[in-house]
Amino acid sequence: MSHHVLESNFSHEFLEELFSTTDLFLKSKKYTNFNGQLIASIFYEPSTRTRSSFEIAAKRIGCNFVHLNIDAYTSSSKGESDQDTLLNLAAMKPDLMILRHSNFKCLSSVLEQINIPVISAGDGKKEHPTQALLDAYTIRHFKTQLKGLKVLMIGDIKNSRVANSNRVLLTKLGAEVSICCPDIFKPNQPEWSDIPHYSHLDEKIKKFDVIMKLRLQKERLGEERDSFSDLRAFVLNPQHFEWSKKDAIFLHPGPKIDGEDFLPEVLNDSRIKILKQVEFGVYLRSALMSMMLEKSK
């Protein structure tokens, strides 16, 4: 495993070790104990699930956890650069760092310098590797394997780091990924060109084994700012659930927006596994941090 976890292009060997350690933690609730190790997290963008999931996961493996939220009370408000804040936090020598930032590229020289392993908790529109890992783990849990599964991601694909990380990881694991969104919400980078795109959400949903809904990324909109009402036709409603396979699963990384992602009438459908994603995410992050702490000993 490389020093940091910043992208979603993991080796099969790494994924096997991670998923089997996660299985072990989930089934036995017996964790490796890293008592006395310290994990520091630093978030430059808002977070609810990811931040608390990392904190709970760290405490489950016996680590102490220190969190720095970049806001009006930190040195950023006094003019300190993000690079400097990060270097200072690293100088306090935590054993592992968790980082969320709008653009890891501008931190790359700092990330090269610090010899403490860093896990990305979200990099702008680009990457959210641990979300993709926990999504893949959840799919594997309900479907046994990803090979040959048909996955449909619906919504604001263009601005979603979750969509991008899942494209990389789920494809690597042998799933066939497609997207469904208005044309203006379709990513235009070349790596998306082979991904089938549907511009209407209709009966074709019945072909898919996994349906992942993604929220409108209101905070990141570009030219599509004036077209967000086009997404109204992509809200999952009772008809979509009726068309879908009886054993399909529906995922969402959160935050799920009421009325924009699913209509309230469908929320009790047992095919929705959103809280399972959240539950498994903690075991998976405990497993990932255990592996990294073990390897950096």
Binding segment (CB under 6 A) for ligand NCD, from list 90-98, 143-151, 253-261, 265-273: 253-261
Q: Does 150 bind ligand NCD (CB under 6 A)?
A: no
**Window 162-221: residues binding ligand NCD (CB under 6 A):** 162, 215
Binding segment (CB under 6 A) for ligand NCD, from list 135-143, 198-206, 251-259, 289-297: 251-259
Q: Applying CB under 6 A, which of residues 210, 236, 254, 282 lies at the interface with ligand NCD? A: 254
Min dist CB 36 to ligand NCD, Å, is 29
Min dist CB 220 to ligand NCD, Å, is 9
- Phi, psi torsion values for 89, nearest 5 degrees: -65, -40
Q: Does 155 bind ligand NCD (CB under 6 A)?
A: no
Q: Applying CB under 6 A, which of residues 18, 41, 95, 122 lies at the interface with ligand NCD? A: 122
**How far is Cα 77 from Cα 15, in angstroms, rounded to an integer?**
40
131 vs 138 by CB, closer to ligand NCD = 131
Core vs surface per residue 88-100: b (16+ CB within 10 A) or e: ebbeeebbbbbbb
Min dist CB 234 to ligand NCD, Å, is 15
Q: Does 131 bind ligand NCD (CB under 6 A)?
A: yes
3 vs 256 by CB, closer to ligand NCD = 256
Q: Does 124 bind ligand NCD (CB under 6 A)?
A: no
Q: Applying CB under 6 A, which of residues 94, 124, 155, 253 lies at the interface with ligand NCD? A: 253
240 vs 252 by CB, closer to ligand NCD = 252
Q: Does 50 bind ligand NCD (CB under 6 A)?
A: yes
40 vs 251 by CB, closer to ligand NCD = 251
37 vs 217 by CB, closer to ligand NCD = 217
Q: Are 155 and 251 in contact (CB under 8 A)?
A: no
DSSP output for the chain:
--S-B-SS---HHHHHHHHHHHHHHHHH------TT-EEEEEESS--SHHHHHHHHHHHHTT-EEEEEE-STTSGGGGT--HHHHHHHHHHT--SEEEEEES-GGGGHHHHHH--S-EEEEEETTTB-HHHHHHHHHHHHHHHS--TT-EEEEEE--TT-HHHHHHHHHHHHTT-EEEEE--GGGS--SGGGTTS-EESS-SGGGGG-SEEEEE---GGG-SGGGGGGGGGGGGSB-HHHHHHS-TT-EEE--SPPPBTTTB-GGGTT-TTB-HHHHHHHHHHHHHHHHHHHHHHT-
Binding segment (CB under 6 A) for ligand NCD, from list 14-22, 56-64, 88-96, 252-260: 252-260
Q: Applying CB under 6 A, which of residues 4, 101, 161, 285 lies at the interface with ligand NCD? A: 161
Where on the chain is the footprint of ligand NCD (CB under 6 A)?
Answer: 49-50, 122, 128, 131, 161-162, 215, 253-255
